Amino acid sequence: MNHAETRERVNMSRQTDWCFETAADFDNALDTYADYLRDIGGRNDATIAWHILYLGRFLRHALSQRLTPQMLRPSHLIDYLREKRLSYSCANKTRIAVKAWFHYLLDLRCLRDNLFQDLPCPKGPDKCYRFYTPQEINRLLAACDTQRIIGLRDRTILEVLYDTGIRSHELCGLHLTDVDMHNATLRVRGKRHRERMLPLNQGAITWLRNYLTRRSELFGERKSATAVLFPSSLTGGMMRNTTLWKIVKKYVRAAGIDPAFTTHSLRHAFASHLMENGADLRVVQLLLGHTVAATTQLYTQLRDNHLEELHRRYHPRA
């Protein structure tokens, strides 16, 4: 659905998005809102999924208390969060989802004011990410059985993740035409549909070339014309983020690495290893697709934490 079609559908749904008389009305309203987030808000599927999940839970709770959307106030959300005793992350996502939905209703002109606009989102505990060494990453990569096509696909996935630092959903969304072997570049569609071109090193190019030579083996006797670079071996279509997460976890166990390692840890490793070797913060920001430099400064913390760890381990007076 394109931008204009979504806007027309949203405008036609003002009444049902504000007044839920049946379960079908409720589901239709969330479906329309999901289209709005995707086509007008430019959100990716993973972000839309948690917006709908946390908003839906809160609205269902409100309706069970005989509270219609028109009656909702920030105090109701605060009471809900206190009652459910959610983790900081879940509580914060609920606040964000509800504030965004009321902004959407304001856009529909169902409201004159967004009463949730100034609802504070308390700062959570500072995260301290673990530093993974190049040796650990190499063990992870070596855990793939590249004689088998699944293992070759998975090794190529891990190589691309570590070589480029792209996010899970960015990798799952890659198409064959996004790889330029001649210029050794990869076109990536990031958050809010922003595109960036990333360089590929010779190692990643070699693995991609080997994988593409055998890629058709993923489908067996099925003839698939899918344009997805790393398709699901089950469906032949786009791989889900959860499937990618399971793939990474499989090799984490095989390599004997910290069980806390996730797909995003490869992004952290990519950035922290670059900075450890002297890369400029601005360069890393561009490669990661960050629009705010403060986000990239996390990797300075990773580097500094690693230095402190080495100091404690090897200094005779530590």
List residues with catalytic annotation: 167, 191, 264, 267, 290, 299
97: nearest Cα among 172, 105, 108: 105
